[in-house]
Amino acid sequence: MRIPPQSFFRFCEVHVPLLRRLASAGGEVSEADVRRMIRDTQGEDAELPETTWRRLGELHILVPTEPGSDLHFLAEPVRRLVDYLFDAAQAATPEIVRGYIQSMEASGRQLARAIEQDELTLLRLAIDDIQKVLIRVQADLDETHRCILNEVSRYKTERRTVSVRDKFRRIVHWMERYVEPMTDIVRPDGPLRSVFDETGRLLIRARDHGLYTDLPTLERSLRLLRIVQRHALRVFQQCRRELQPLYESLRRSSFLAEGAAKALEALQRDGAGGWAEAHAVRAFQQRWQHVPSDAAITRALRNVAETTVEPPPVLGLGEPEAPPADYQRRVWLEALPGEAGASVPIDDLLGWIVRRNPGCTTADALAGFTRLVFDTSFVAGFDGGEPRVHETADGSLESCPVQLSLP
């Protein structure tokens, strides 16, 4: 299959938007999709859409996924060309780089065999293979670096609202899918360095063996080995440095967001009761009530300091000559039920008290009356008689007669 370069580039010249659309579609596209893209990107004075569709196939720009299939994909060399022209970098995956390492190991074995067997053709082929792999490794490393730089700048300038968690997931993806495993591969004690060292030793052996006389090519290969080796490590260190601050910032924000979301979810699920215990920040609070002021404390201290000592009062402990009046009154009241019991029935209780105790006061008369009326060993009641007046030492009492009898 040969494609005339002039025809190919002439077609590309007038179908740049279409090629770009096809490249950005990625993966398989149906015939209907391609025809729609042709219509969308075709100018008014351009060729017929049918012609464009036919030429895409003839120039092997679009390749069917299988013979007779309706699905097509953009031929890989064209995709790479478009990516190159539009600086649309594709990051090399660790698997790709491991593939290069395996390829170099195979070429190394071939090289060793060629040296052992003095096989010049085999040796030349092996060196060619090694050079091609090295050039691809270098190109892929550059592309990966560009790709990560684009990704970082996209994060910083993106206007579309993407949650912190999604951003963090994407960064984690980049770190875990590309940067970390790649750094492991290219680090000084990693597999890339090891295969490069081995290849370098074989190339030197080939030179020393005198079999391969194209010394400039050998030297170029050795130089390329050293350059790619250094370049690989530097590229992934740079990538890591680009991503790391973003990764750190987003990781922290993501955890903060996760905590806030959990706290709010708990509030929504369980309500406010008990929520504060686990989720609210606590603050110190100390309220004071009735605290003496400084002036009050000073005054109290001054009162203590200025107090003059007084002698204690002297209590008279001698026996009094006559019993106290209150005591006598108590004795009289306690003896009253006994006296009344001997005199029941009594027709007019108050008159009886006043008569038996001439000189008693109104208060005493009433106290005696109350003592007897409420005494449970007697029954008291009005007899329906007319009111009578009883003279006391300090006044008079008027009352209807109250009878007192035994129950």
Partner 1 sequence: MTELPHLKDVFDRLRRGHHLSPEDEPLFSAVAARHEDYAAWFRQLGITLVRHPRDFFYFDPEGGEGEREALSRIAVFAFILVDHAANEGRPVEEYVFGQHFLLPRLPHLGLDRYVGLLRQVDVEDMAGLRQVVRNLERFGFAKVVGEDEFRFQRPFHRFLDKCLEVAQAPAPASGPGVGEARAEDAG
How far apart are the C-alpha atoms of 236 and 242, rounded to whole Å? 10
Name which of residues 202 to 261 contact partner 1 (CB under 8 A): 249-261
Q: DSSP string of 114-173?
A: HHHHT-HHHHHHHHHHHHHHHHHHHHHHHHHHHHHHHHHHHHHH--S---HHHHHHHHHH
How far apart are the C-alpha atoms of 196 and 202, rounded to whole Å? 10
| H runs (alpha helix) in 180-315 | 180-186, 191-209, 215-270, 275-279, 294-306
Q: Say whether residue 179 binds partner 1 (CB under 8 A).
A: no
Nearer to partner 1, 283 or 315 (CB): 283
Closest distance of CB 291 from partner 1, Å: 12
Cα–Cα distance list, 29 to 9, 24, 35, 301, 397 (Å): 22, 11, 10, 98, 128
Nearer to partner 1, 276 or 335 (CB): 276
Closest distance of CB 261 from partner 1, Å: 6
Q: Say whether residue 168 binds partner 1 (CB under 8 A).
A: yes
Closest distance of CB 244 from partner 1, Å: 13
Piece in contact with partner 1 (CB under 8 A), picked from 80-88, 155-163, 203-211, 384-392:
155-163
Name which of residues 262 to 301 contact partner 1 (CB under 8 A): 262-264, 267-268, 271-272, 275-276, 278-287
Closest distance of CB 293 from partner 1, Å: 14
Nearer to partner 1, 215 or 283 (CB): 283
Q: How many residues bind partner 1 (CB under 8 A)?
A: 43
Nearer to partner 1, 251 or 371 (CB): 251
Nearer to partner 1, 204 or 264 (CB): 264
Cα–Cα distance list, 362 to 166, 354, 357, 391 (Å): 102, 9, 11, 8
Nearer to partner 1, 204 or 267 (CB): 267
Coil, strand or helix at 379: strand
Nearer to partner 1, 288 or 374 (CB): 288
Q: Say whether residue 152 binds partner 1 (CB under 8 A).
A: no
Residue from 20, 169, 187, 205 touching partner 1 (CB under 8 A): that is: 169
CB 169 within 8 A of CB 253: no
How far apart are the C-alpha atoms of 58 and 3, rounded to whole Å? 8
Closest distance of CB 186 from partner 1, Å: 23
How long a stretch of residues is the chain? 407
Nearest CA-CA partner of 239 in 190, 189, 174: 174
Closest distance of CB 270 from partner 1, Å: 10
How far apart are the C-alpha atoms of 356 and 363, rounded to whole Å? 15
Residues engaged in binding partner 1 (CB under 8 A): 158, 161-169, 172, 249-264, 267-268, 271-272, 275-276, 278-287
